[in-house]
């Protein structure tokens, strides 16, 4: 009889009534639940639950009964409200807006004021947490139900609602803000000037400073296409404006901002717009806008984040903001801003006779004024090189050329007999190289002639390293004989042996000394004011990387085999966290590259200064030191592996090395003993920066076919991941 009852119960459960899809989402958000929380409770995938809420699929037993039970209980707690007919109810007051010491550093652009802005919305004293379903084309959403935001728990009450909001509008023009942790706020502002006012006065958005001498992060508003239309902005930039990267100064929204005394930075109103008023004493008034439909979130660094629904986009950007910093533009720009946020250029000095404190240089920083680079460190077109003849090509003895590896060689007969080529990739290679790097700080370089080399002194050195022979090198306290012809030179990006004097950063020359060879610099540009400026930057990005990998199911300190298993399909476990991971990696690589930003457009001509040169963080010497360390770190690992295991790379591209092997796994390349130890000083498999992961595997036959088709100079490391020459990518 019990079996019959169970069968009847199962039959009833298979037809458990469910509310419409939009109501399912409303109930979940009303209780502050995330898709992940419910998916975990029902033991289904997040994508499955998302499909139920979107109406694309319907749950089946036994999950259907449990899901119906959950929604039924939530419906008792949060019944739908009737359509309101009177004014909105009053809400309690919020904490005052945050104060910070300075205004934006970019020079303002003042639009022409020609017309009155639309009247601002009636101010409310506190943002209301509301819950409403996503916009649909066939039904109007129910009226919002006010709900008091949760009180801050241990955080700064000025920023109780997090660093950002993603704004979306429904067909009736009501705007909803989606924040971190499932927060949903009703946004009462009816115009863009009113929106900026509301954000600074009532929204309680922003993030506390990362250093006691720094500044609090400005609130960030992310506008969907519907929100753009609601506030008078085009959902997509027209062709002329898209090429210019900003709205024209006579656009009606810019006129509204100008009449309301709001200003824009020199970048104008583009995908990342900063709207501010000049500082009043210590009060900072600045709001940043991000418009994904204007290509603010580059798919090369953010993946498909711009296509996410507002709540999902808030989760991605909010996680990045919490672990790295609030985005300030591209990931490269954000990486550079993070350096300054963690190591501010100034601090408050001692009180003077009147008791007032004045700003002074903070030791250990790059300072608040730009520093000229050495002539050898200047890229082509720099004003320091204006005296050179037109079309002059500088050689290694005239310019510092510290770049990442791009080297490949032919396979030996023994390597051709192996079945596979296995690529291993160094995790966060440039970040690991930045850790512990001693770089010049706020003082300009000093030129010296015939100096004694000092490995502790950052700078650029003109020295001849052509005598360094990789066939005989010193490893530790003994000399080793190697196949030097099978290894790239550590002194050039191409891996070719240098033929005479050339400029090198300190880490490259120090590596030549480490290999057992004497060096005699002819001249140098050195920096006495030095420090480990990037250590804090690396540690924050390292923690963000490792934590995000943990969210994707790749834990720290896993045994090599378990790590490789966890890496298989890790991006599919949580696609949104995979977007955060890509952004973190791009922040590292882009931030280092931004230290030597080149001139871009704007009618620039060689010999003229470009805007980036006015930044204290325009430091090509710092970039060169980091890349030099990354390349020599890579070579040191390859050298130790060759000395102890007789394994030599066949191709190297930046942080990826390719080896011939008998099996398809990195475990067939890197020798591990039963105790889990591998060659000291060589590659180690793991999640931490500086350790390696599997980049890809192809057959030896594939390599021969590719080189026959595309030439012997083809770098196999570039295409080892996909095997497709047209789709290969070089990612960090």
Average per-residue pLDDT for the chain: 86
pLDDT above 50: residue 360: yes
Confidence at residue 717, expressed as pLDDT on a 0 to 100 scale = 95
Distance CA 66, CA 538 (A): 46
How many residues are listed for the chain in this entry? 732
Burial of 267 from C-beta contacts in 10 A (0-12 / 13-18 / 19+): middle
Confidence at residue 35, expressed as pLDDT on a 0 to 100 scale = 82
Over range 196-205, report the average pLDDT. 95
Tokens at 658, concatenated: 């390719």
Which of 47-61, 116-130, 217-231 bottoms out in mean pLDDT, i.e. has the lowest?
Answer: 116-130
Residues 406-443: pLDDT tens digits?
999 999 999 999 999 999 999 999 999 999 999 999 99
Confidence at residue 63, expressed as pLDDT on a 0 to 100 scale = 85
Helix (H, G, I), strand (E, B) or coil at 349: coil
pLDDT band at 275 (very low <50, low <70, confident <90, very high): very high
377 or 279: which leads in pLDDT: 377
Which of 500-509, 519-528, 695-704, 711-720 bottoms out in mean pLDDT, i.e. has the lowest?
Answer: 711-720
pLDDT band at 133 (very low <50, low <70, confident <90, very high): very low
243 or 489: which leads in pLDDT: 489
**CA of 198: how far to CAs of 256, 541, 616, in Å?**
15, 32, 34
Extract long-range pairs of 388-392: CB within 8 Å, 24+ residues apart: 390/606
Is the dihedral angle over the CA atoms 37, 39, 45, 47 positive or is it negative?
negative
What lies within 8 Å, CB to CB, of 594 at 6+ separation is: 332, 333, 335, 336, 617
Residues 389-401: pLDDT tens digits?
988 999 999 999 9
What lies within 8 Å, CB to CB, of 429 at 6+ separation is: 630, 633, 634, 654, 655, 689, 690, 732
| CA neighbor of 630 nearest in space, from 578, 690, 571, 679 | 690
Confidence at residue 118, expressed as pLDDT on a 0 to 100 scale = 36
pLDDT above 70: percentage of residues in the chain: 86
How much helix, strand and coil, in percent to the nearest 5, is found in the chain? 35, 15, 50
**CA of 679: how far to CAs of 429, 475, 649, 653, in Å?**
19, 13, 15, 22
Confidence at residue 153, expressed as pLDDT on a 0 to 100 scale = 36
Confidence at residue 102, expressed as pLDDT on a 0 to 100 scale = 41
pLDDT above 90: percentage of residues in the chain: 68
Instruction: Tell me how far the alpha carbon of residue 636 is from its chain's centroid.
Output: 28
What lies within 8 Å, CB to CB, of 376 at 6+ separation is: 398, 399, 400, 460, 462, 503, 525
Instruction: Tell me how far the alpha carbon of residue 620 is from its chain's centroid.
Output: 20
pLDDT band at 113 (very low <50, low <70, confident <90, very high): very low
Residues 56-98: pLDDT tens digits?
788 888 888 888 888 888 888 788 765 443 333 333 333 333 3
**CA of 312: how far to CAs of 291, 401, 669, in Å?**
15, 42, 40
Over range 208-219, report the average pLDDT. 94
pLDDT band at 130 (very low <50, low <70, confident <90, very high): very low
Residues 277-320: pLDDT tens digits?
987 766 789 999 999 999 999 999 999 999 999 999 999 999 99
pLDDT above 60: residue 531: yes
Confidence at residue 702, expressed as pLDDT on a 0 to 100 scale = 94
What lies within 8 Å, CB to CB, of 577 at 6+ separation is: 319, 548, 551, 552
Q: Set out the domains of the chain in order of their start, with CATH numbers.
A: 2-77 (1.10.260), 128-325 (no CATH), 375-403+435-530 (no CATH)
Over range 441-468, report the average pLDDT. 96
Confidence at residue 106, expressed as pLDDT on a 0 to 100 scale = 41
Over range 462-485, report the average pLDDT. 94
pLDDT band at 245 (very low <50, low <70, confident <90, very high): confident
pLDDT above 50: residue 671: yes
What lies within 8 Å, CB to CB, of 650 at 6+ separation is: 408, 409, 411, 415, 421, 658, 659, 660, 703, 716
pLDDT above 80: residue 215: yes
137 or 552: which leads in pLDDT: 552
């Amino acid at each position: 009889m019990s079996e019959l009852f169970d069968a009847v119960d199962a039959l009833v459960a298979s037809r458990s009534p469910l509310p419409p899809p939009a109501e399912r989402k409303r109930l979940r958000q009303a209780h502050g639940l995330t898709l992940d929380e419910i998916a975990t409770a029902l033991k289904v995938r997040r994508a499955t639950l998302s499909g139920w809420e979107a109406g694309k699929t319907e749950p089946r037993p036994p999950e259907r009964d449990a899901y119906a039970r959950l929604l039924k209980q939530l419906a008792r707690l949060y019944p739908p409200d009737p359509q309101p007919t009177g004014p909105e109810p009053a809400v309690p007051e919020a904490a005052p807006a945050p104060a910070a010491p300075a205004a934006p550093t970019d020079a303002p652009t003042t639009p022409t004021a020609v017309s009155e802005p639309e009247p601002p919305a009636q101010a409310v004293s506190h943002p209301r947490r509301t819950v409403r379903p996503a916009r649909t084309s066939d039904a109007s959403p129910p009226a919002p139900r006010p709900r008091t935001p949760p009180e801050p728990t241990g955080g700064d009450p000025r920023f109780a609602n997090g660093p950002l909001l993603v704004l979306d509008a429904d067909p009736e023009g009501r705007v909803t803000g989606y924040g971190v942790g499932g927060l949903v706020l009703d946004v009462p502002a009816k115009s863009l000037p009113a929106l900026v006012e509301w954000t600074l006065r009532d929204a309680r958005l922003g993030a506390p400073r990362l250093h006691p001498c720094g500044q609090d992060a400005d609130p960030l508003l992310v506008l969907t296409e519907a929100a753009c239309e609601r506030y008078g902005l085009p959902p997509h930039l027209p062709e002329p404006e898209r090429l210019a990267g900003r709205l024209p100064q006579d656009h009606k929204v810019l006129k509204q901002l100008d009449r309301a005394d709001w200003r824009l930075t020199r970048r104008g109103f583009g995908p990342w717009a900063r709207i501010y008023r000049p500082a009043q004493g210590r009060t900072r008034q600045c709001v940043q806008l991000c418009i994904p439909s204007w290509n603010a979130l580059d798919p090369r660094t953010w993946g498909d984040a711009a296509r996410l629904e507002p709540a999902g986009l808030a989760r991605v950007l909010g996680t990045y903001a919490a672990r790295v910093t609030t985005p300030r533009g591209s990931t490269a720009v954000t990486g550079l801003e993070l350096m300054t946020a963690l190591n501010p250029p100034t601090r408050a000095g001692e009180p003077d006779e009147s008791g007032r404190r004045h700003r002074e240089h903070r030791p250990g920083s790059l300072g608040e004024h730009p520093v000229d680079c050495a002539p050898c460190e200047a890229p082509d077109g720099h004003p320091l090189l204006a005296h050179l003849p037109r079309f002059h090509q500088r050689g290694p003895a005239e310019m510092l050329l510290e770049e990442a590896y791009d080297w490949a060689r032919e396979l030996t007969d023994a390597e051709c007999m192996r079945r596979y080529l296995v690529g291993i990739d160094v995790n966060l290679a440039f970040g690991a190289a930045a850790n512990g790097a001693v770089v010049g700080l706020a003082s300009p370089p000093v030129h010296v002639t015939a100096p004694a080399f000092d490995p502790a002194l950052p700078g650029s050195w003109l020295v001849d390293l052509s005598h360094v022979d990789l066939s005989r090198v010193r490893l530790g306290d003994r000399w080793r004989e190697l196949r030097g012809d099978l290894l790239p030179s550590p002194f050039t990006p191409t891996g070719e042996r240098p033929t005479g004097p050339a400029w090198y950063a300190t880490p490259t020359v120090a590596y030549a000394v480490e290999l057992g060879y004497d060096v005699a610099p002819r001249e140098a540009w050195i920096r006495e004011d030095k420090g480990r400026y990037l250590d804090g930057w690396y540690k924050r990005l390292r923690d963000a990387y490792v934590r995000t990998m943990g969210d994707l199911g790749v834990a720290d300190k896993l045994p090599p085999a378990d790590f490789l298993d966890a890496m298989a399909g890790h991006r599919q476990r949580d696609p949104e966290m995979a977007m955060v991971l890509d952004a973190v990696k791009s922040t590292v690589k882009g931030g280092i590259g931004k230290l030597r930003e080149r001139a871009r457009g704007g009618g620039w001509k060689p010999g003229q200064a470009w805007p980036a040169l006015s930044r204290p963080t325009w430091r090509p010497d710092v970039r060169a030191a980091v890349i030099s360390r990354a390349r020599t770190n890579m070579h040191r690992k390859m050298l130790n592996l060759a000395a102890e295991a007789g394994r030599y790379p066949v191709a190297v591209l930046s942080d990826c090395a390719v080896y011939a092997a008998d099996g398809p796994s990195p475990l067939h390349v890197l020798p591990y003993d039963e105790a889990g130890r591998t060659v000291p000083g060589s590659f180690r498999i793991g999640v931490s920066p500086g350790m390696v992961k599997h980049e890809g595997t192809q057959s030896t036959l594939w390599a021969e076919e590719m080189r026959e088709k595309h030439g012997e100079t083809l770098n196999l490391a570039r295409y080892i991941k996909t095997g497709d020459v047209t789709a290969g990518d070089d990612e960090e």
